[in-house]
């Protein structure tokens, strides 16, 4: 099932998402399937549960569409429940990011180049993995969503000024997107 994506200005995007309690989540697999379908339908490479209005610590990432440019992303697909970073490198990288919740906006973001992340897979097995470069960036972007942070928050002051008009338009509902969007902005 394709879910509508909440856009900039929505309160659900600013909340700290709740940890998933495995005992109380019988439908987690079908929800994660919906998240993946929603991400693919919108041509996105990552999605966090708050972006579909569910304030829970779940993220999905898929780098296969980017493998032409970054061959290391071939086969990179993860579904993470309750992810936590156990390592973040001091070395950083800078790259332009976008977000399905902030259509038509991009900005350079500085992030640690390498991370280690511990998470539960959809069968609630604990996994710990290390990622670098673009894969690490994708996971960090989605992890931010679980903490109520959007990539535009990391933009430089001058970039923030440049995109402020576009952000204001999204809040007003002036959005061009090829997928269904929603807002709970007040």
Instruction: Please give the positions annotated as active site.
Output: 142
Nearest residue to Ni ion, scored by beta-carbon proximity:
99
Instruction: Show the site string, 151-170: x = touches Ni ion by CB under 5 A, - = not.
Output: --------------------
Interaction between residue 181 and Ni ion (CB under 5 A):
no
Burial tier of 95 (Cβ tally within 10 Å: 0-12, 13-18, 19+):
exposed
Which C-beta is closer to Ni ion: that of 81 or that of 109? Answer: 109
DSSP, collapsed to helix, strand or coil, labels residue 108 as strand
Other C-beta atoms closer than 10 Å to the C-beta of 87 total: 12
Q: Shortest CA distance to 115 belongs to which of 148, 93, 137?
A: 137
Secondary structure of residue 152 in the 3-state scheme? helix
Task: Kindly state whether residue 109 participates in binding Ni ion, applying the rule CB under 5 A.
Answer: no
Residue number with CB closer to Ni ion (20 or 99): 99
Residue 99 interacting with Ni ion (CB under 5 A): yes
99/135 with CB nearer Ni ion? 99
Give the C-alpha separation, 16 to 148, whole Å. 5
Among 34-42, 53-61, 96-104, 168-176, the segment contacting Ni ion (CB under 5 A): 96-104
Point out which span in 4-12, 21-29, 84-92, 99-107 binds Ni ion (CB under 5 A). 99-107
Q: Which residue, 63 or 123, is less far from Ni ion as judged by CB?
A: 63
CB of 100 to Ni ion, least distance (A): 6
Distance between CA atoms of residues 122 and 22, nearest Å: 10
- Minimum CB distance to Ni ion, residue 51 (Å): 6
Report in angstroms how near the CB of residue 142 gets to Ni ion at its nearest: 7
8 close to 150: Cβ distance less than 8 angstroms:
yes
Q: Which is nearer to Ni ion, 45 or 81 (CB)?
A: 45
Task: Compute the distance between CA of residue 179 and CA of residue 37 in angstroms, rounded to an integer.
Answer: 12
Name the nearest CA neighbour of 128 among 140, 110, 116, 141.
116
**Contacts with Ni ion, residue ranges (CB under 5 A):** 99
């Amino acid at each position: 099932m394709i879910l509508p994506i909440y856009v900039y200005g929505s309160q659900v995007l600013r909340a700290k998402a709740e940890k998933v309690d495995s005992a109380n989540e019988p439908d987690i697999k079908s929800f994660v399937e919906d998240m993946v379908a929603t991400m693919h339908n919108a041509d996105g490479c990552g999605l966090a549960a708050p972006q579909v209005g569910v304030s829970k610590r779940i993220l999905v990432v898929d780098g296969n569409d980017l493998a032409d440019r970054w061959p290391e992303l071939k086969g990179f697909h993860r579904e993470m429940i309750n992810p936590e970073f156990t390592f973040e490198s001091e070395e950083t990288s800078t790259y332009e990011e976008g977000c399905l919740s902030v259509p038509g906006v991009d900005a350079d973001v500085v992030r640690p180049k390498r991370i280690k992340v511990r998470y539960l897979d959809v069968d609630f097995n604990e996994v710990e993995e290390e990622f670098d470069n673009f894969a690490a960036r994708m996971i960090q972007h989605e992890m931010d969503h679980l903490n109520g942070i959007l990539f535009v928050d990391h933009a430089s002051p001058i970039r923030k000024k440049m995109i402020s008009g576009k952000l204001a338009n999204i809040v007003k509902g002036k959005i061009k997107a090829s997928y269904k969007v929603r807002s709970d902005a007040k």
